[in-house]
Amino acid sequence: GEDVEQSLFLSVREGDSSVINCTYTDSSSTYLYWYKQEPGAGLQLLTYIFSNMDMKQDQRLTVLLNKKDKHLSLRIADTQTGDSAIYFCAESLSGGGADGLTFGKGTHLIIQP
Amino acid sequence: KAGVTQTPRYLIKTRGQQVTLSCSPISGHRSVSWYQQTPGQGLQFLFEYFSETQRNKGNFPGRFSGRQFSNSRSEMNVSTLELGDSALYLCASSPMDGSNTGELFFGEGSRLTVL
């Protein structure tokens, strides 16, 4: 069955890089996503990567995918206080969520001044 | 463009009652999905609708149901509420126009408390 695992907490100093890791089990996953959730809000899509890619960069965000190890990571460069949130990794067999996304439990990113 | 709108934002019900939640997708989006978020189970897929048809359903009992209207707006209903149904219910829309970007756009959710 599908399963997505993440560490529950990550604490970093402001200005440092944050690296949030995720492992998934379904080798059929075609799309992998990172979502951000701030307190009291819904989920905001940060970035996504197709399974035929191994890296994607978007401004301060870098996504690395190791398909062999089924490992996905999100690197946030120059972490700011506004990055404090819960980050969810998710996988899907098809784009657009028609078959539903499988989410990890989320990583709480804590920023130290 | 307005985002995904969910109503009501907050509601309190008692066990045994039923509840209906509403979702208006982003204009032009034809797919609407629903998710339940709880501290214990995290985010779980409920169902997905496209062109008024339920295409997929998650592992939830039959008390959870939904529908989609011709204007793509969607409602979900939970009957015979249980304490464990207390959760944040999130709706997401997707264009499903063949652009294949894989994006889901989420609303802010409806927070249901069952007493």
- Does the pLDDT of residue B101 top 80, yes or no? no
Query: What is d(CA A87, CA B32) in angstroms, rounded to the nearest whole number?
Result: 22
Residues in chain B with CB shorter than 8 Å from the CB of A98 are 31, 48, 50, 55-56, 94, 96
List of chain A residues whose C-beta atoms are within 8 Å of the C-beta of residue B44 = 103
Asked whether residue B98 carries a pLDDT value surpassing 60, the answer given is no
Gap from B105 CA to chain A (nearest CA, Å): 7
Taking the CA atoms of chain B, what radius of gyration do you get in angstroms?
14
**What mean pLDDT value characterizes chain A?**
90
pLDDT of residue B82: 97
Q: Look at B42 and A48 and tell me if their CB atoms are within 8 Å.
A: no
Q: Which of A48, A88, A100 sits opposite B102 (nearest CB)?
A: A48
Q: How far is B42 from chain A (nearest CA, A)?
A: 5
pLDDT in tens, A27-74: 777 789 999 999 888 899 999 898 888 999 999 999 999 999 999 999
Picking from B77, B88, B80, B93, the residue whose alpha carbon sits closest to that of residue B113 is: B88
Token pair of A25 as six digits = 């089990």
Size of interface A-B (CB pairs under 8 A): 77
Distance from CA of B70 to the nearest CA of A (A): 18
Q: What percent of chain A has pLDDT over 70?
A: 94
Residue B27's Cβ-count burial label (10 Å; 0-12, 13-18, 19+) is: exposed
Of B100 and B74, the structure prediction assigns the larger pLDDT to B74
Which residues of chain A are within 8 Å of residue B30 when distances are taken between CB atoms? none
CB hemisphere CA count around A104 (13 angstroms):
30
- HEC string for B36-50: EEECCCEEEEEEEEE
Query: What is residue B97's predicted lDDT score, i.e. its pLDDT?
Result: 61
Beta carbons of B94 and A97 less than 8 Å apart: yes
Model confidence band, residue B49 (pLDDT cutoffs 50, 70, 90): very high
B33 CB neighbours in chain A (<8 A) are: 97, 100-101
Residue A39 touches chain B, beta carbons under 8 Å: no
